Structure 1
Amino acid sequence: MKLIDIKKETGPEWAEKGYQMPQFDIEAVRAKTHEQPTWVHFGAGNLFRAFPAAILQQALDSGEYDRGVIVVEGFDFEIIDKAYRPYDNLSLLVCLQSDGNIEKKVIASVTESLKADSQFPKDWARLAEIFCNPSLQMISFTITEKGYAVAPADLERGLAPVLIMGKVTLLLYERYLAGELPLTLQSMDNCSHNGDKVKDAVLAYAEKWAEEGLVPAEFLEYVQNPAKVTYPWSMIDKITPRPDAKVQKMLAEDGFEDNYTIFTDRRTYTAPFVNAEETEYLVIEDKYTNGRPPLELGGVLYVDRETVDKVERMKVCTCLNPLHTAMSIYGCILGYDLISAEMEDEDIRGLITKLGHIEAMPVVVDPGVLKPADFIDAVLNRRLPNPFMPDAPQRIATDTSQKIPIRFGETIKAYQARGLDMDALILLSLVLAGYARYLKGIDDTGKAFEPSPDPLLEELRAIVAPLEVKKGEQDFSCLKTLYSRQDVFGVDLYAAGLGERIEGMARELFDGPGAVRKTLHKYVTAR
């Protein structure tokens, strides 16, 4: 059983072993898309195949749409050479459900795969051809927040940029020359106000080129004209870990031969298959200038910009991200390496359940299109306990200092703005107290561990360096320096009326081996 086999007549073993096949004429869709493309996606990683491409597959399976998506990679070209083209752009989505069921679906919505660089002249010429086609409606992105960066050196390269957003702007110039054709640039990356990041990057290149006379001033007007080019916001949420050994083994036992991991020179982990969680959300600002693919047929919610912002705040400030950070801090200290295993720990589960439902819910932003209580219940009962998802607290703990101001600072500010009782923030205080213990890098048994990468890690670890994990008196005055940092916590915790309580909890957490478990249990059960 190989992916390429489905282009021929497949045997009964695919259905017998639960593999879902495309319900549309693959060659007809490819031919129509080649002639009249509507959607190009930049970023050929695992998230794209597990989510946007799978959403489009649902639209195609419904029979109500007839165009696929063309995927483009602008950073790690080996992904195209090793994970797309050898399989004729087909892939297998393995959905790992929390009840133990496995859904296996062959994804055939990707019709072409291209490398965005002039060193591949045929690919670049095809991209230019696509961008000059009036049928093109949307280009989208899953290139991570770093992908929208604009380097001064790249701006100086003129019309020969190296970075992906420079190449996108160059392709937009081709579309401008073809008649100022309308287009929407749709970020699907997991970062706040993501459409603005796309727009800022495009304008940086267009302004520089116009200033140097490399393009006419009218091109800059084109990319700024909301009747021609738009940059909607979106909120995306789905976990797609690296290819997992357990999934590989399961596929091998099925007789599915394309079950191996591909590791590129640029350190990308990919495979002919993608393993992903079952839960997914994609909420998009409905602001398109040339129509759009009907992704609502695959579950996308199209709303206005204000609603996208509310959904983002609900997720990031209340119903998911703060819970993730809380369990990553305590998970690392208590020696866990799997999120699902943490959810079997009554104290950790109690911490995040009460943190979400009792302390954060009073200030949750209700977006209307998703119920906060339902969202958080899915997090607690399906997403985090899923034993098939190989996610780790160490991954989530990466860059914690950059996450705390939004994930906890915004809740504190909301309590202040509404005049709510700050004394109610017991478990939130416990999480922030745990951060000092985490920075020390000593687990609850007294064994050293390496905190996850963070741009402020060494600076913050130096603050707590004088503290020891031991019973008895010691000087905790250094905590005042830590918990006064507005850049880390979003507020001065002492001015907010929480500093002294957090300090007291931190003292308990440093009170020798076993103190973390004891303190965590004490406050969770009391709450």
Structure 2
Amino acid sequence: MKLNDILSGQLNAAEWEAKGYQLPKFDIKAVREKTAKEPTWVHFGGGNIFRAFPAAILNDALNTGKYDRGVIVAETFDFEVIDKAYAPYNNLSLCVNLCSDGSIEKKVIASVTEALKADPQFEDWNRLVEIFKNPSLQMISFTITEKGYTYNEADLARGLKPVFAMGKVCALLLERFNAGQMPLTVQSMDNCSHNGDKVKAGVFAYAERWVKDGLVPAAFLDYLKDEKKITFPWSMIDKITPRPHEKVKEMLAADGFDDNNYIETEKHTFTAPFVNAEEVQYLVIEDNYTNGRPPLDLGGALYTTRETVDKVETMKVTTCLNPLHTAMSIYGCMLGYTLISAEMADEDLRPFVQKLGYIEAMPVVVDPGVLNPYEFIGAVINRRLPNPFMPDAPQRIAMDTSQKLPIRFGETLKKYIARGLDKSNLVLIPLTLAGYARYLKGIKDDGTAFDCSPDPMLDELQAIVAPLQIGKADQDWSCLKTLYSRKDVFGLDLYEAGLGEQIEGMVKELFAGNGAVRATLHKYVSAR
């Protein structure tokens, strides 16, 4: 069983379907021919998240028979991905959704019609220019990570031959401008807040510099700023797509599926002909398009207003997912866990995050309307975090914790204060913040050392708690006032918020000696 069998005429559909593989229901060759002539969508970033989510939901839309155009993928960073993960398999791939009950869903993705290297050194660039000059093009989108939107003075100074992704996109938009100032929507699908503004800032930086340097007419910048022509909508995307999993490789091999090899590029991109991903997914998009759009709602995407996208993002980041992750990472590291899924079987940690989310964070959530907060958090606790296929580690999630605390907990505390809510209801959020001081010591609950995860403020914050000793009751705790007054770390002065003394008391319990982390966690979770 090979992916290329699907287009070679050698497909034994009955065999594939008998083994649980969902095959495309549409005419692949017809869609490819139609897309080549009248492309509607180019996506930048050919990584795992693209194949497992945007390309997969377009595949679902095509399966309805209500749409007839695929997506053209363009890679701006790691060109080996095109050579090794797309070209050998005729742009087909297998999406393997990993279900929390231990089963897998296997779906062949055939919605990608072309895979191009987005750089002028390749012939593919001429094809991209041709596509951008086509009036049929409706949307370009991105999953290039937040770092992909960056730019610097050196690249801006290169003029019309930039190296960074945003410069290349701006150059292609210039081609569309010169072809008749045709409308287009520039849509980020990256997992970062207000992502459309990041694309916009990057594109505008290049356009403004080129106008200033006399390389392009001022009308080009006017074109980009004309919201009747070009828009930069926001979106919220949420789906975990880890590296190809050994268990998945073994299960596919047992089926007789031959395209199960691992691929690692020179730039250390880890991929495969298959993509494994969690079963739960969300894509909420601001419906602000100037030239029409692919009907991704047929595959489950939600189109709505910018305000609603922002509410969904806030719900996820400050209440229903990210704070639970951070709480689990802090205590998971101290209790010696290396898998989030294993933590969810812990008799204290599971109720810890349940009560943290449902009881303490939920009172300040604004229901966005398109996603129910209780259903969202229920999926997190019951299907996402316990998923045995998800090899996510508390050590990874604990990276940059100092940068996450102001958003993941500070914003919730600010809302409690602004709305005059009873802060005596707060026990487990203070316990999480208290746990951070204990975490910074880099000593597990059993007394052995661990390496705190990378963080730009790690050395500075560890120096604050350095005087504290585990197992010593009679010591100077004044350094805690220095730590928990830091607005840059917690989003607000926790003493001014009326929580400082409560947190200090919890810290003292956590420092009582070996086993104190478990005992303190159990005490407050049980009482809650």
- Alignment match, 1:2: 2
Find the residue that maps to 1:346 and give its secondary structure: coil
- Cα separation, 1, equivalents of 2:363 and 2:436: 24
| Pairing 1:480–2:481 present | yes
| Pairing 1:101–2:140 present | no
- Alignment match, 1:161: 162
- Alignment match, 2:374: 373
Q: Any unmatched runs of 5+ in structure 1? A: none
- Cα separation, 1, equivalents of 2:399 and 2:186: 29
- Alignment match, 1:63: 65
Q: Residues 419-473 of structure 1: CA distance to partner in whole angstroms, max 9, x if unpaired?
A: 1122221100000011111111111111111122212122212222222222432
- Alignment match, 1:185: 186
- Alignment match, 1:352: 353
Normalising by structure 2, we get a TM-score of 0.98
| Matches for 1:227-242 after TM superposition, within 5 Å | 227-242=228-243
- Alignment match, 2:401: 400
| Pairing 1:30–2:64 present | no
- Alignment match, 2:253: 252
- Cα separation, 2, equivalents of 1:256 and 1:304: 42
Letter in 2 for 1:208: R
- Alignment match, 1:48: 50
- Alignment match, 1:364: 365
| Matches for 1:333-482 after TM superposition, within 5 Å | 333-482=334-483
Q: Residues 295-340 of structure 1: CA distance to partner in whole angstroms, max 9, x if unpaired?
A: 0100111001111111111111111111111111111111111111
| Pairing 1:75–2:83 present | no
In the TM superposition, residue 497 of structure 1 has moved relative to its aligned partner by: 0.9
- Cα separation, 1, equivalents of 2:479 and 2:267: 41
- Alignment match, 1:136: 137
- Cα separation, 1, equivalents of 2:39 and 2:341: 41
- Cα separation, 2, equivalents of 1:203 and 1:287: 19
- Cα separation, 2, equivalents of 1:78 and 1:518: 51
Letter in 1 for 2:110: A
| Pairing 1:332–2:370 present | no
- Cα separation, 1, equivalents of 2:108 and 2:95: 6
Q: Residues 241-264 of structure 1: CA distance to partner in whole angstroms, max 9, x if unpaired?
A: 111111111111111111122111
- Cα separation, 1, equivalents of 2:442 and 2:15: 51
Find the residue that maps to 1:103 and give its secondary structure: strand
- Cα separation, 1, equivalents of 2:203 and 2:196: 11
Letter in 2 for 1:421: D
Find the residue that maps to 2:140 and give its secondary structure: strand
Letter in 2 for 1:409: G
- Alignment match, 2:117: 115
- Alignment match, 2:90: 88
Find the residue that maps to 1:221 and give its secondary structure: helix
Q: Detail structure 1 runs of 4+ shifted over 3 Å in the superposition.
A: none
- Cα separation, 2, equivalents of 1:494 and 1:150: 40
- Cα separation, 2, equivalents of 1:518 and 1:367: 38
Greater alpha carbon shift after TM alignment, 390-399 vs 315-324? 390-399
In the TM superposition, residue 476 of structure 1 has moved relative to its aligned partner by: 2.0
Letter in 2 for 1:523: Y
- Alignment match, 2:525: 524
- Cα separation, 1, equivalents of 2:86 and 2:461: 43
Q: Please, which of 3, 14, 17 is the counterpart of residue 15 of structure 1?
A: 17
Find the residue that maps to 2:4 and give its secondary structure: helix
Normalising by structure 1, we get a TM-score of 0.98
Letter in 1 for 2:108: V
In the TM superposition, residue 480 of structure 1 has moved relative to its aligned partner by: 1.6
Q: Identity over the aligned pairs, expressed in percent?
A: 73
Q: Any unmatched runs of 5+ in structure 2? A: none
- Cα separation, 1, equivalents of 2:465 and 2:266: 38
- Cα separation, 2, equivalents of 1:171 and 1:459: 44
In the TM superposition, residue 475 of structure 1 has moved relative to its aligned partner by: 2.1
- Cα separation, 1, equivalents of 2:87 and 2:120: 19
- Cα separation, 1, equivalents of 2:315 and 2:379: 14
Q: Residues 390-439 of structure 1: CA distance to partner in whole angstroms, max 9, x if unpaired?
A: 22111211111111111100000000000112222110000001111111
Find the residue that maps to 1:385 and give its secondary structure: coil
Find the residue that maps to 1:84 and give its secondary structure: helix
Greater alpha carbon shift after TM alignment, 244-253 vs 287-296? 244-253
Letter in 1 for 2:498: G
Greater alpha carbon shift after TM alignment, 461-470 vs 512-521? 461-470
